[in-house]
Structures are given as C-alpha cells and as structure tokens.
Amino acid sequence: MKKLIYSFWVSIIILSLIGCGKEDAKQAAANTVVNSGKITKRARAGENRVYEQFSNVELFPDIQKIITRGTLNIGIYQDCDVPFVIKDSDGKVTGGLDMEITGFLADHLGVKPVYDYTIKSRVELFRKLHNGEIDIAAGELSHTFDRGKYVYFSNTYAQLHPSLIMNKKDVVELGIRNDPYKYLSEKPCKIGVQADSSYIEYAQNLFPKAEVYEYPTLEDALDALNRNEVIALLHDDNEIVLLARQHAEIALTNTVYVLKNKKDNICIAISPKSPNLCDTVNLYLESDDLLFDVNDLIERYPDAYKCE
C-alpha cells in the first residue's frame, strides 16, 4: 500500500515536472521566430542569450565582451540635431532615428543600451570610440575618408547630399544663378561650414581653391553669409531644410543648391576595439532595409520639421 501511495506521489511529481517543462517549451516557442529557413532564438534585452544551436561555441571576443558586460555603450554627440536625436524642451532625449536604430541594435544583441549624451564634440566622440570607451557612436555621423582611417563605419542608413546656401543677390550679380558649383570650385572664395563637422573635409574636397571658414553653429555661419563674410554656406540638405524652417527669410533672400550627385552617407561608427560588431550592425541595417533620405525623414518625423 505504501508503495502504491509512494508511486502515486512520484507519478504526480513527475507529471507536474513534465507539465512545467511543456510550459517552458511553450514560452520558448513564443520567443522563437523563423528566419531564413533556420529556427533561431531571438534574445530579449538583458537576457544575454545567443543563438541556441551555437550556445556552446566560443563567440568573437569583442562580441563576447559586450554580451558578458550586458550593455552596449553608445556615444551620442551632444548637439546632434533632429530628427536623428529628438529632445524635449528641457533638453531630455525623447527619441529620434539614431535612438531607435541603436536601441533595436542593443535589443538584437540581447544587451541593454547605455547612452552617453555628454560628449561635447565630434572629435571627443571619435576619440572615445577609438579608445574603446564606447562601442558604437551615432548622431548624424558622416562617413568620411579621414574618419574611416581610424574607426569602422556601418553601411549607410541615411543618405543626404551636400548643399550650398547662397545669397540670391550674389548669385544674380555674379551671373551664377544656374551653376554656382563651377564658380566656387574654380575660383578662390570663402565658404562657411559648421566647426567640428564633416563638412570641413567636404568643403576642402569639393572646393579646393576655397578658404574654409568654421563657425560654431549653422546659425552663426548663416549670419556670416548675410554679412558677406563668406559667399556660401555648406552643409547637408537635411540641416539646410531645418535651417530654412527656423529662418523662413531664407526662402526669400537665399537660394539653396543641393549637389544631388554628391553623397553624404550617414552611418553608425564602430570602435576599432569591436571589429566584429560592424557585421552585426550591417546585418541589422540590411535586414530591416534601412535607407532614409530627407523626404523619408520629414515623413517619419513631421513634428521635428515644423516651421517656427
């Protein structure tokens, strides 16, 4: 009799254990997605999981380091503009394209994103990235030849174009209303750019005979243009559209020339200490087919472009 009672309790315990196992299996199935014909397991943020079938395989050391740490350290340039980083009236970051992309990326890796918003200049941002203090950097970062020599860059996720703002009066007087590029690239002239931006390099490459003047902000550069200190202001089309909406008089007094065959590729910068992270970032960008232009950005973040 005792044996019967013992067997009964043992079977109850075994059955409950099997039932629990089924619940776990159901939960596991819920977390499983079909991807390219292979059953893989998508990790959740903070769980530090990797593909199930490779769980016993040694990972790339840089990836392993991030997963072991449980965080993806992301550097964001403090003065990055909308819609890449959107802030509320108190200056608190509330969203933006780069926040979305980096957030999803951390999610894919199964780690928590940790942002450093205190980086005051792009120079400091790339220094930190180069030293490995941060794993990736974002904030409307252009992939330039110079930067590509010391950090990795992902594939392009936003494609902008270098654009010139010129005074309407100047282009009419100089007779270059239809083609100011030829004049600027062939004649010695003064071109204003935002300091610490990739456009210093763009200006030097596009206009080899020009003197490049750096200004702390685009507004300062616009003031310099209006004071005739410089003949043109060079930046990307997204920033120029934003500038025109903040300074509506541009629509009347200036002409904007978008150099449509020149590209400003906006990418995620990756620390040279994490070379294998680049593939992961690219895989994510490619799988979600991310490639925005100005119109896509305006459509996605209309509030960021409201005319003031």
Partner 1 sequence: MERIKRFLSSFWTIIFSLVLGVVIGIYAPRIATACESFGEIYFKLIELCCTIMLPVIIISSIGKIIISKGSSGYVYKILIALFLTFAVISGISILSSIIVSPITAPTSETTKSLGKLIINSQEKHQDEPIDVLKSYYFIREIDTDKEIQKKDTGILKIIAGFFPNNIFESLANKKTVEVLIFSIIFGLLFKYIPPLTCNSLINLCDSLFEAFNTFLTILLYLLPFGIISLISHETTGLDFNIVISLFKLGERIALVFLILFIICIIIIKYTSKKSFIVVFKALKEPMILSFVAENLVAMPSLISAMTEKLGFNRNKVGSAAPLWMGMEIHADVALFAAASIFTLQLYGIPIGFNEIMMIFIGSIAAGLSALGAAAILWVALIRIILDPLDIPSSPIILALMLFEPFFNGLLYLLNSVISCAAVSILAREPESKKDLLPEIKEIATP
Q: Select the residue interacting with partner 1 from 6, 253, 287, 288 (CB under 8 A).
A: 253
Closest approach of partner 1 to the CB of residue 254, in Å: 7
Structure tokens at 252: 């009347």
Structure tokens at 213: 């003047």
Contact range with partner 1 by CB under 8 A, out of 98-106, 112-120, 143-151, 251-259? 251-259
Q: How many residues does the chain have?
A: 308
Q: Select the residue interacting with partner 1 from 245, 272, 291, 301 (CB under 8 A).
A: 245
Instruction: List CB contacts of 15: < 8 A, sequence separation 6 or more.
Output: none
Q: Does 244 contact partner 1 by CB under 8 A?
A: yes
Name residue, tokens 């903070």: 46
Near partner 1 in 213-242, by CB under 8 A: 237, 240-241
Contact range with partner 1 by CB under 8 A, out of 10-18, 51-59, 258-266, 283-291? 258-266
Q: Does 255 contact partner 1 by CB under 8 A?
A: yes
Closer CB to partner 1, residue 91 or residue 175? Answer: 175
Contact assessment for residue 245 and residue 308, using Cβ atoms and an 8 Å cutoff = yes
Which 3 state secondary structure label does DSSP give 34?
strand
Instruction: Tell me the per-residue interface mask from 129 to 168 with partner 1, x by CB under 8 A, - otherwise.
Output: --------------------------------------xx
DSSP string, 151-209: SEE---SEEE-EEEEEEHHHHHHHT-SS-HHHHHHHS--EEEEETTSTHHHHHHHH-TT
Q: Does 301 contact partner 1 by CB under 8 A?
A: no
- Bridge partners, 152 (sequence order): 270
- Angle between helix 218-226 and 237-246 (nearest 10): 70
**What letter would DSSP give residue 36?**
T
Instruction: Tell me the per-residue interface mask from 8 to 47 with partner 1, x by CB under 8 A, - otherwise.
Output: ----------------------------------------
| Residues found near partner 1 in the complex (CB under 8 A) | 167-169, 172-173, 175, 177-182, 185, 206, 237, 240-241, 244-245, 247-262, 294-295, 298-299, 307
